[in-house]
């Protein structure tokens, strides 16, 4: 396996015309286009809508209004919070309880790869905050089937999990009759394509009085159900996945609005880490670096899977998209990002983890495209 030294941030620093001068996206990457002045359409879109997306006084006021609305409901839980055991979602849980006085239901999804430390962190937070947990235990064969489909289709390894987190929130919303579910996805994870920025602008506009149609449309996008169903070729597999993971009868019977908390709040990653350590006894993962999502035991192996659908230059690191997004949002400079990618490029391929992943998904090494 050749070592790759691709570092688009270095190209941006050298003012290379093949990358966006602001965030370093290359033409076609993740569906982006470079425009005349050497910046990409995602940076343009963000710049054009800064007055809404970055006006945190306005956004927080909107959020507070919604909270008052939720408190008037007589249901046992005001809202759902999707928690993984990672710092971002536990921070959201903590803030909704302590800063907003809400009574949330925590929803988790057991993906079979959650580390013990993440589970311990989740338990500690629930105990300290006195929050109930609805843990969705899914048929892992189905989840692995979706992961296989995702990889064989040259798509992203994490996609099924991200989609299923949302499905589980919708399920809990339907079962417990809760109108809203918050997630802990960061702004950098959310603002990576123009389409996503558009979706979240619409969310802000519809936040106070969403129509059923709006809620359902957003749910369909976030759960990715449609795309998986079309990818599953055999009727038997389709049925299996639909029945065990998406439960169509219950799924859209009464669905809730999914809202990423960080769309409405500006919190730095240092603030998040300090807060969860101080207030929730949160323990960092064994290997703790910024932008790591190490509550998943398969993360290191997954970093080497190369999703061709993103149309990235081969060698692009899995977390590059998020890092470029951090730069676009002004949280990192190009220089800092270039250094991080240099470090990523020196990491050896984790053969042991990869063998485990291949075994679990019943895949051969040559069926997967590697970076
Ligand atoms: Zn850009």
| Ligand 1 center–CA 42 separation, angstroms | 6
| Amino acid 52: pLDDT | 95
Identify the top-confidence range among 36-40, 64-68, 166-170: 64-68
Q: Would you say residue 280 lies in a domain?
A: no
pLDDT bracket for residue 20 (50, 70, 90): very high
- CA–CA separation, 280 and 89 (whole Å): 12
| Ligand 1 center–CA 36 separation, angstroms | 12
Q: Please give the residue that has the higher pLDDT: either 34 or 289.
A: 34
Mean pLDDT value across residues 22-31: 90
Mean pLDDT value across residues 2-19: 84
| Amino acid 292: pLDDT | 65
Please state, rounded to an integer, the average pLDDT across all residues of the chain. Answer: 89
| Ligand 1 center–CA 168 separation, angstroms | 33
Q: Which two tokens stand for residue 12?
A: 């941006």
The pLDDT tens digits for 114-150 are 888 899 999 999 999 999 999 988 888 888 988 998 8
| Ligand 1 center–CA 299 separation, angstroms | 26
Q: Please give the residue that has the higher pLDDT: either 226 or 25.
A: 25
> C-alpha 212: how far from its chain's center?
24
| Ligand 1 center–CA 127 separation, angstroms | 42
Q: Has residue 35 got a pLDDT over 90? A: no
The pLDDT tens digits for 154-170 are 888 888 888 888 888 98
pTM of the model: 0.92
| Amino acid 104: pLDDT | 98
The Cβ of residue 107 has, within 10 Å, a number of other Cβ atoms equal to: 27
Query: Is 191 found in the same domain as 66?
Result: yes
Query: Is 99 found in the same domain as 74?
Result: yes
| Ligand 1 center–CA 21 separation, angstroms | 7
- Calculate the dihedral angle through the C-alpha atoms of 89, 91, 97, 98, rounding to the nearest 10 degrees: -170
| Amino acid 248: pLDDT | 55
| Ligand 1 center–CA 194 separation, angstroms | 10
Q: Would you say residue 278 lies in a domain?
A: no
| Ligand 1 center–CA 271 separation, angstroms | 26
Q: Would you say residue 18 lies in a domain?
A: yes
The order of strands in the sheet holding 257-260 is 132-137, 104-110, 79-82, 180-183, 257-260
| Percent of the chain with pLDDT strictly greater than 70 | 94
Query: Is 163 found in the same domain as 39?
Result: no
| Amino acid 291: pLDDT | 61
| Amino acid 46: pLDDT | 95
Query: Is 310 found in the same domain as 202?
Result: no
Query: Is 142 found in the same domain as 257?
Result: yes
Query: Is 62 found in the same domain as 170?
Result: yes
Q: Would you say residue 14 lies in a domain?
A: yes
Residue-number span of the structural domain to which 345 is assigned = 8-48+298-367
Query: Is 101 found in the same domain as 14?
Result: no
Query: Is 78 found in the same domain as 20?
Result: no
Q: Would you say residue 124 lies in a domain?
A: yes
99: CATH: 3.40.50.620
| Ligand 1 center–CA 263 separation, angstroms | 20
Q: Would you say residue 285 lies in a domain?
A: no
| Amino acid 3: pLDDT | 55
Query: Is 42 found in the same domain as 62?
Result: no
Q: Which two tokens stand for residue 220?
A: 């369909």
Q: Which two tokens stand for residue 224?
A: 């990715």
pLDDT bracket for residue 99 (50, 70, 90): very high
- CA–CA separation, 368 and 154 (whole Å): 8
Query: Is 306 found in the same domain as 166?
Result: no
Mean pLDDT value across residues 74-101: 95
Q: Is the dihedral of CA 139, 140, 146, 148 positive or negative?
A: negative
| Ligand 1 center–CA 44 separation, angstroms | 7
- Calculate the dihedral angle through the C-alpha atoms of 328, 331, 333, 336, rounding to the nearest 10 degrees: -120
Task: Give the residue from 263, 285, 307 where a domain finishes.
Answer: 263
Query: Is 243 found in the same domain as 107?
Result: yes
Mean pLDDT value across residues 338-365: 90
Mean pLDDT value across residues 41-66: 96
| Amino acid 74: pLDDT | 83
By the 8 A CB rule, do 80 and 104 touch?
yes
| Ligand 1 center–CA 269 separation, angstroms | 22
| Ligand 1 center–CA 310 separation, angstroms | 15
Domains held by the chain: number: 2
Mean pLDDT value across residues 259-278: 96
Query: Is 312 found in the same domain as 197?
Result: no
| Amino acid 126: pLDDT | 98
| Percent of the chain with pLDDT strictly greater than 90 | 52
Q: Would you say residue 157 lies in a domain?
A: yes
Q: Has residue 364 got a pLDDT over 60? A: yes
| Amino acid 294: pLDDT | 65
| Ligand 1 center–CA 22 separation, angstroms | 5
Q: Would you say residue 287 lies in a domain?
A: no
Q: Has residue 44 got a pLDDT over 60? A: yes
| Amino acid 207: pLDDT | 95
Of 76-80, 89-93, 209-213, least confident by mean pLDDT is: 209-213
């Amino acid at each position: 396996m050749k070592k790759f030294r691709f570092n688009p941030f270095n190209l941006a620093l050298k003012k290379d015309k093949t990358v966006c001068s602001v965030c370093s996206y290359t033409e076609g990457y993740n569906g982006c286009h470079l425009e005349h002045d050497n910046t990409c359409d995602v940076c343009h879109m963000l710049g054009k809508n800064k007055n809404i997306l970055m006006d945190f006084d306005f956004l927080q006021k909107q959020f507070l209004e919604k909270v008052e609305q939720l408190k008037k409901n007589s249901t046992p839980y005001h809202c759902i919070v999707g928690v993984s055991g990672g710092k971002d979602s536990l921070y959201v849980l903590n803030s909704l309880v302590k800063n907003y006085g809400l009574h949330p239901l925590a929803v988790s999804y057991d993906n079979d790869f959650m580390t013990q430390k993440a589970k311990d962190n989740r338990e500690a937070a629930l105990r300290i905050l006195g929050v109930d947990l609805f843990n969705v235990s899914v048929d892992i064969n189905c989840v692995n089937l979706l992961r296989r489909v995702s990889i064989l289709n040259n798509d992203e390894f994490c996609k099924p999990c991200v989609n299923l987190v949302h499905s589980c929130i919708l399920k809990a919303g339907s079962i417990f009759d809760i109108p809203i579910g918050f997630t802990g996805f960061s702004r950098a994870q959310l603002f990576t394509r123009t389409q996503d920025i558009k979706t979240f602008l619409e969310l802000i506009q519809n936040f106070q009085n969403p129509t059923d149609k709006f809620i359902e449309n957003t749910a369909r996008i976030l759960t990715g159900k449609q795309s998986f169903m079309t990818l599953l070729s055999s009727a038997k597999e389709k049925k299996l996945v639909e029945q065990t993971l998406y439960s169509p009868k219950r799924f859209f019977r009464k669905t809730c609005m999914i809202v990423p908390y960080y769309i409405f709040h500006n919190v730095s990653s240092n603030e998040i880490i300090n807060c969860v350590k101080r207030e929730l006894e949160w323990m960092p993962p064994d290997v703790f670096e910024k932008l790591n999502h190490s509550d998943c035991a398969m993360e290191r192996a997954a970093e080497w899977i190369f999703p061709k659908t993103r149309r990235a230059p081969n060698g692009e690191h899995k977390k590059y998209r998020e890092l470029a997004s951090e730069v676009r949002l002004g949280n990192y400079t190009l220089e800092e990002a270039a250094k991080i990618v240099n470090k990523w490029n020196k990491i050896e391929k984790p053969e042991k983890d990869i063998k485990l992943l291949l075994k679990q998904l019943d895949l051969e090494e040559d069926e997967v495209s590697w970076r």
